[in-house]
Amino acid sequence: MPEEFKRLNRELAYRGSIIDFYKDTVLVPNGNLVKWDFIAHKGAAAVVPVLPDGRLLLVRQYRNALDRYTLEIPAGGRNGAQEPFLDCAFRELEEETGYRTEKESMEFLLSLRTTVAFCNEQIEIYVAKNLVKTQQHLDEDEFINVHAYEMEELLAKIYSGEMEDSKTVAAILAYKAKYL
């Protein structure tokens, strides 16, 4: 009987614009063959934008998967698996919020794996300070409103269940623990 898991086959079932869906055949430690779903993702980056007065900028946008609006930190997918996460975070900050900073003013906060049971998505999260107001550069399918919040307001939204986005919850709590 094998003592480790061994992937024997990975078959592409669907290629999408954001994800690729695979059917894997895996030999498990008891000797059985199992079929598992696997979603490949190119990765993403997100930003905790901090205004000079300490408030955090969040974006409100419609999310089709939930069929409702959500409140999130700005984030977006990498332009391919080779794009550095920091470059992606830098780009998404200005695109979504209409604020920018120098890359030297962005500090790594944490790395997340969003759904480890079936997806390899990795999100690197940065803190951005020394923000300068510019303008949003939204994609044609993005309709985003930007709002500034005090930490207490955000914590209330998290603990009431109003804010559920995992990257946003993790980022806000990590920011509070590290900086406040």
Mind telling me the catalytic residues?
140
Tokens standing for 72? Answer: 């999130």
What single-letter amino acid sits at 33? L
Q: What end-to-end distance do the CA atoms of the chain give, in Å?
A: 52
Round to whole Å and give the CA distance between 57 and 65.
23
Distances (CA, A) of 106 to 20, 89, 98, 169: 30, 9, 16, 19
Local structure of 26: helix, strand or coil:
strand
